A = this chain, B = another copy of it.
Amino acid sequence: MKTPQSGPSRQQEASCSCAPRSHPLDESSIATDVELLATLANETRYEILRIIADAKDDLCVCEIEPALDVSQGAVSQALARLVSADLLERRKAGRWRYYRTTSRAEAIIDLLDETQVSNHD
């Protein structure tokens, strides 16, 4: 089986003779990355993350909730998932829980702000 060649001969092949990739990548790291991305890929969760990232201090749930129009339960579920993805850290204080972003979350947010649709490079 041939591998496709660079250059003009490529276009003159009669049929595709590509060598399929043998065994592609670390499957488990793909699943791990996708899990992280899926955690971020939800408006409620992502907005919570940005609200907390924008705050100078850590925030309690009661400060986050009013900014969103979903139920209390939904906010709690969102926070729990962000914590288990290592995007937020939780601190207990009496009846309240305070959340702040991890360095991981900050790195991702910074990148997304940089990579903002400037279109082509």
Known: A37-B41, A43-B30, A93-B11. Is A18-B86 also a contact (CB below 8 A)? no
Say yes or no: B119 contacts A63, CB within 8 Å.
no
Question: Interface 1/0s, chain A 103-121, versus B by CB < 8 A?
Answer: 1100110011011110111
Question: What's the Cα separation between A54 and B93 when bound, in Å?
Answer: 46
| Pairwise interchain contact B103-A121, C-beta atoms closer than 8 A | yes
A55 CB, min distance to chain B CBs, angstroms: 8
Known A20-B67, A25-B54: A37·B47 in contact at CB below 8 Å: no
Q: How many residues of A contact B (CB 8 A)?
A: 56
| Cβ-closest 9 pairs across A and B | A20-B66, A37-B41, A38-B41, A41-B41, A11-B94, A18-B63, A16-B62, A21-B67, A18-B62
**Residues of A in contact with B (beta carbons under 8 Å apart):** 4, 6, 10-11, 16, 18-21, 23-25, 29-34, 36-38, 40-43, 46-47, 50-51, 54, 57, 60, 62-67, 86, 93-94, 96, 102-104, 107-108, 111-112, 114-117, 119-121
